[in-house]
Amino acid sequence: MEFIGFLVIILLLAGWFIMIYNNLIALREKRKQAFSDVDVQLKQRYDLIPQLVETVKGYMSHEKEVLENVTAARTGVKNSGDSVAERAKAESALSGAMMNLFAVAEAYPDLKANENFQHLMDELSDIEDKIAAARRFFNSATQKLNVAAQQFPAVIVANMFGFTTEDFFEVEPAMAKAMAEPPEVKFGS
């Protein structure tokens, strides 16, 4: 009888262990899927930028530095590593450069009235909304994984299998800085 009791306890512990491990795996996969959703939206924005820069070039002949900053930031995103932190930093720089571009565009009434520019701006605005939603979903999935991996008793299983606290996808600090420091608009040389 004692052997059966011991066997039941072992089976219960093994079942508990498997449940926790499977939950952590499911949360990690949900986070990966959420990042994939963010990545899709970021790629759409990334693909839209050259069209926007080309449209703006003709109007902003004196704002070469602003356009170069957008192009350099776009290249930075392309060259960013696979880690969420590296990607978030590169996306943050791109967001700041884009905000500077939009701020400078305000000084060009003909550009703002351009139909192609307006269409690109509308499309970009829609993409930015989708990026924000996807980023919220990703950060929520990250938070759930981090909490699950840190709570007792799951932390024991998490530590055994190398589950660590994951990074959130945060872009806001650079965007806030870009908004606080509007670019200088120069006419003529």
* pLDDT tens-place string over residues 42-98: 899 888 888 888 888 777 766 778 888 888 888 888 888 778 888 888 888 888 888
Task: Evaluate the CA torsion angle 74, 75, 78, 80 in order and state its sign.
Answer: negative
Domains and CATH numbers, the chain: 27-180 (1.20.1440.20)
Task: List CB contacts of 170: < 8 A, sequence separation 6 or more.
Answer: 88, 92, 139
CB 99 within 8 A of CB 178: yes
* One-letter amino acid of 17: F
**Tokens (6 digits) for 20:** 């926790």
pLDDT, residue 13, reads: 93
d(Cα 112, Cα 118) in Å, to the nearest integer? 7
Mean pLDDT of 102-117: 80
Task: List CB contacts of 95: < 8 A, sequence separation 6 or more.
Answer: 171, 174, 175, 178
| Residue 153: half-sphere exposure toward Cβ, Cα within 13 Å | 7
* pLDDT tens-place string over residues 49-60: 888 888 887 777
Collapsed DSSP state (helix, strand, coil) of residue 167: coil
pLDDT, residue 183, reads: 43
**Tokens (6 digits) for 37:** 């959703």
**Residue 182 confidence class, pLDDT cut points 50, 70, 90:** very low
Collapsed DSSP state (helix, strand, coil) of residue 4: helix
DSSP state of 133: H
